[in-house]
Amino acid sequence: MAEVRSQTFTDQAAVETDGAVFVDCKFESAVLHYGGGEHPTFQNCTIGEVGWYFTGAALRTVQLLQQMNTSEGGNKF
């Protein structure tokens, strides 16, 4: 796991999160990218106005959850 310490992410910075460990970081206006790999870890971080960008397996999981949520009757596909 890559460790990132004491950094501030602003100005819509794209931050790859798969498998990363963030320690004492600030996310003020970043876009956090997650592709479905190992979960990121956030230790003592401040997360403000951020966006998430999902790709690969993570995107397919989000799409499945959305499909399940909008299906008629709640459990029909």
pLDDT tens-place string over residues 25-58: 999 999 999 999 999 999 999 999 999 999 999 9
Quick one: pLDDT at residue 75?
59
- pTM score of the predicted model: 0.82
Q: What angle do CA 48, 26, 18 make, to 5 degrees?
A: 95
Quick one: pLDDT at residue 61?
95
For range 60-67, the mean pLDDT: 93
For residue 1, pLDDT beyond 90: no
How far is C-alpha 66 from the chain's CA centre?
17
Quick one: pLDDT at residue 37?
95
Quick one: pLDDT at residue 71?
67
